[in-house]
Amino acid sequence: MRPVQYDSFGEPIAQPVRDERVVSRIALRTGVGLFWTLVVVIVAARAAYFHPHFAEQFGHVAALMDRLRAVLGA
């Protein structure tokens, strides 16, 4: 038997039913597994479909913004 736990006001905390803990643990593990699976898939897809020319275009956009600021006097 587990010891009774109390909240900050001294009231006993209701202990969860054993079945609820098992279901909760399974749901938690499933959610965590799904999250990390999606992370791996997204990172792998980004690595597989990475195109270096796309990253170079950001330099052109930055240069264009600098020219625009110079023209506007900002």
Q: Where are the domains of the chain?
A: 18-73
C-alpha distances in Å from residue 37, one per residue of 16, 29, 34, 44, 45: 30, 12, 5, 11, 12
pLDDT at 59: 80
pLDDT at 74: 65
pLDDT at 33: 97
CA gap 68, 63 in Å, rounded: 9
pLDDT at 54: 73
Residues of the chain with pLDDT under 70: 1-2, 16-20, 74
pLDDT at 2: 66
Please tell me the pTM assigned to this model. 0.47
